[in-house]
A = this chain, B = another copy of it.
């Protein structure tokens, strides 16, 4: 077991919150089938940002960054799919 102090736990908490940030948005888009107000550029930049952090985490072998960004990548791809599928 690694010896974690409170700041490491704060980082893990931040990573956890980051992971679930887009969950309510994906759920809302799926439930309402309405995505007209969502910016496609936000989703595209998010995909770029998350892919960058995923590579960063893989190179640095940072488990928290890898897990968090894998989850966000999955949610961003769902958002992109909804944005492109639902007409309004």
**Interface of A with B (CB < 8 Å)?**
7, 10-11, 13-14, 17-18, 20-25, 27-29, 32, 34-42, 45-46, 48-49, 52-53, 55-56, 59-60
Contacts and interface: CB of A to CB of B under 8 A. Distances in A.
Counted per complex, copies of this chain come to 2
B7 A49 contact: no
Contact of A32 (B20, B23, B27, B37): B37
Main secondary structure of the interface of A (DSSP, over half): helix
Contacts of A34: 36-37
Given A17-B49, A24-B42, A32-B37, 13 more contacts: A7-B59, A7-B60, A10-B59, A13-B52, A14-B49, A14-B56, A18-B49, A21-B42, A24-B39, A25-B38, A25-B39, A27-B39, A28-B37
Listed from nearest, the 4 A-B pairs whose CB atoms lie closest are: A24-B41, A37-B37, A17-B49, A14-B52
